[in-house]
């Protein structure tokens, strides 16, 4: 009988619930629905990040071949300027110009108030912890990070220590002596909410891999918005 009239069974079950139990059941249903929406959003964001890198790679390769003012898509308010590769772990991503909210949704971005990789000072590249820089936690001291710039220069940086700092107390000096690189993302890596902490990997240019011009810049403040 229950197989023949399943809806009646469910209706009878709901009718036996008191007011408190009904509220609890409704709350569980809402939590489950919210969880499904968050999971769906997470998949969407990761898929968006992966697909956009294909278009960004195409745009970057066009720049390497001498094309000027190439945008990955017509309405993009940023351009590609480099490719970063972590050799040991086999991860790479196209780096964008300007660490705006839109840019970070599609790939790592160099902070506008820091020099280009290879110039004197500290170049800072930031990315989301759950997409393009989820591999940052796997970078170890001594690992080689290769930056290919849009002008064709290929620079190798050696990773040093990693550390955790507040977004407004990064300790990164854009005018520091030498030719340095700092990679930054949110911390902890498994968090689902925004927070003030950033995970930073420092690296130095390996000698004889190229250099550029001097940049005089202010101290670096990482983006306040979580990434």
Alpha helices in the chain, H assignment, sequence order: 6-15, 19-64, 101-106
Cα–Cα distance for residue pair 103/209, rounded to 1 Å: 28
Give Dmax (Cα) for the chain.
83
Is residue 215 in a domain?
Answer: no
Is residue 217 in a domain?
Answer: no
Which residues, in sequence order, are bridge partners of residue 92?
A: 85
pTM: 0.72
Is residue 27 in a domain?
Answer: no
The parent domain of residue 63 ranges over 45-205
CATH for 87: 2.40.260.10
Cα–Cα distance for residue pair 94/55, rounded to 1 Å: 10
Residue 103: predicted pLDDT: 76
Is residue 70 in a domain?
Answer: yes
The pLDDT averaged over each successive group of 10 residues in the chain (227 residues) is 48 54 52 47 55 85 87 83 96 85 84 94 94 95 96 96 94 95 95 89 85 44 64
Residue 174: predicted pLDDT: 94
Is residue 136 in a domain?
Answer: yes
Helix (H) or strand (E) holding 91: strand 91-97
Is residue 26 in a domain?
Answer: no
Pair 39, 47: CB distance under 8 Å: no
Is residue 65 in a domain?
Answer: yes
Domains: count for the chain: 1
Report the candidate in 182, 80, 73 with the shortest Cα–Cα distance to residue 126. Answer: 182
Is residue 32 in a domain?
Answer: no
Residue 126: predicted pLDDT: 95
């Amino acid at each position: 009988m229950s197989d023949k009239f399943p809806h009646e069974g469910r209706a009878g079950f709901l009718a036996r619930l008191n007011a408190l139990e009904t509220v609890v059941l409704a709350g569980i249903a809402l939590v489950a629905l919210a969880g499904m929406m968050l999971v769906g959003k997470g998949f969407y964001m990761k898929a968006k990040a992966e697909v956009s890198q294909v278009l960004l790679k195409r745009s970057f390769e066009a720049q390497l071949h001498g094309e000027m003012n190439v945008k990955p898509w017509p309405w993009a308010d940023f351009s590609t300027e480099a490719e970063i590769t972590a050799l040991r772990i086999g991860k790479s991503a196209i780096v964008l110009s300007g660490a705006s909210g839109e840019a970070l949704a599609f790939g790592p971005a160099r902070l506008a108030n820091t020099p280009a990789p290879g110039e004197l000072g500290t170049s800072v590249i930031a990315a989301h912890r759950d997409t393009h820089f989820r591999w940052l936690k796997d970078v170890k001291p001594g690992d080689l990070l290769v930056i290919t710039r849009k002008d064709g220069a290929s620079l190798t940086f050696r990773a040093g220590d990693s550390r955790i700092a507040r977004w407004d107390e990064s300790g990164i000096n854009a005018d520091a002596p030498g030719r340095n690189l700092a990679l930054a993302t949110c911390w902890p890596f498994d968090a689902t909410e925004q927070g003030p902490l950033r995970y930073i990997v420092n690296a130095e240019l390996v000698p004889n891999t190229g250099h550029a011009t001097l940049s005089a810049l202010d101290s670096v403040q990482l983006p306040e918005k979580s990434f």
